[in-house]
Structure 1
Amino acid sequence: MTEHTPKAVVLLSGGIDSAVCLQQALDEYEKVEAIHIDYGQQTESIERSNAEAQATAHNIDLHTVDYRTVFAEFAEGTIEDKEYDSNHMAEEGHSVGYVPQRNLHFLTSAAAVAEHHTDPGVELVLFHGAQYNDSTDYPDCRPAFIEAAQKAINRSTDQHTVTIETPLIDLDKPEVLTLGEKLGVDWSLTFSCYNDQSGTPCGECPACVERKEAFEKADIEDPVVAQ
């Protein structure tokens, strides 16, 4: 029986968490590819640019998925054309960045794309950047969801065994930064703002506030700062 080398596939958004996941995957696996999903987020242009730059820097394939039409049917969170500020952190009981069923869509689509680009029998490892702070506001960033999603994905295929890796799920944002620093992540190729579309963060939205506080707590200089 022929043995196949496992392949790691990273959901690469262009943000901090996925950049750290990518570096972790590169350290652990010989074969690594990435997937970037465009779901109509306001900052898609800079996010995609960062994802492409990270993939190019590590000489790996980047697959892109256009989810705009699907997500337009229930547009919320960061896919709406609106302004976010530090005084508006939550609405209707959840974070302003909440998008219904986002990670369920992302993981199942990533698994499908990975299968399409992989020979049968190869073990697939999906890296997903859920981290500890997200679990409070996002139910699809909690261990119970990840476990259920993995079971469902494996029930839907007999071509591959799929494992979902969440190396950051027990780490808060400063700890994620500390790990990324140790792994050698290039922070200049990450972006966290909900508002800006040009590459200069607004400094006021929840994502910018969280990023600033995390870099300060981790005692790391952020090369991407609000002007």
Structure 2
Amino acid sequence: MTQDGSNAKAFVLLSGGIDSAVCLQTALDRHDDVEAIHFDYGQQTEAIERSNAEEQASRAGIPVHISDYRTVFGDFAEGTIEDKSYDSDTTEREGHSVGYVPQRNLHLLTTAAATAEHNTETGREIVLYHGAQQGDGEEYPDCRPEFVQAATEAINRSTDQHEIDIETPIIDHTKADVLRLGEELGVNWELTFSCYNDEDGTPCGDCPACLERKEAFAEVDVADPVLRDR
């Protein structure tokens, strides 16, 4: 049973990064029945992200569903799914972050909801855990509370088999706050990856994602086992 006494089943959108790792541990603390969903949409760092997600799920003793989104996102490839290099001098393009992928979270949440329904008995409540955090909302419209509320309403209007909730436990957290919470929850940072560039699983240390990670670990005064040599 969950902490609130319900029989909800939780599904965590598990990217292999910091935010989703914290969401996974949060879900595991709150629910007895947890599964993970990982999306492969052609991102350059998919190999290490998937490896991390699978290892996190394995250590938690839960199944992970792999959703292949390459064909869908390949029709409008932008952001981290293009074969290009990112650095500290290239943080924006056409008015938004270089990591922007059009309609990404709307796609991922609706597919996660469908995956969850397919793997949950009729009538049980479903909770989707999505790792949007405060810094994301500044640049990505689909990481803001208004979007999450609208997505939740739309998803529930599309089904009469389950009640589906979208939980965003770190949406009001800065990246440093996310790290602090993760420290409390015992998250293994070695199994997280934040880089936009593909260097055979080694972070570049210079792209916007790496810089944000460096700043957050420095603020919290915690050693980063992934970027320690960068």
Same fold (TM over 0.5): yes
Counterpart among 112, 125, 137 of residue 114 in structure 2? 112
Residue aligned with 1:210, SS = helix
Matches within 5 A, 1:132-211: 132-211=134-213
Query: How large is the Cα RMSD of the aligned pairs?
Result: 1.0
Matches within 5 A, 1:15-34: 15-34=17-36
| Most deviating of 16-25 and 189-198 | 189-198
Amino acid at match of 1:151: E
Aligned length: 225
Deviation at 1:126, TM superposition (A): 0.2
Unpaired runs of 5+ residues, structure 2, are: none
Match of residue 54 from structure 1 = 56
The TM-score, its normalising length taken from structure 2, stands at: 0.96
User: Percent identity over the alignment?
Assistant: 68
- Check conservation: 1:19, 1:185, Cα contact below 8 A: yes
Deviation at 1:220, TM superposition (A): 0.9
Deviation at 1:196, TM superposition (A): 2.3
Deviation at 1:5, TM superposition (A): 1.5
Residue aligned with 1:103, SS = helix
Amino acid at match of 1:137: E
Match of residue 7 from structure 1 = 9
The TM-score, its normalising length taken from structure 1, stands at: 0.97
Match of residue 90 from structure 1 = 92
Residue aligned with 1:74, SS = coil
- Check conservation: 1:9, 1:126, Cα contact below 8 A: yes
Match of residue 214 from structure 2 = 212
Residue aligned with 1:105, SS = helix
CA distance in 2, matches of 1:170, 1:113: 27
Match of residue 224 from structure 2 = 222
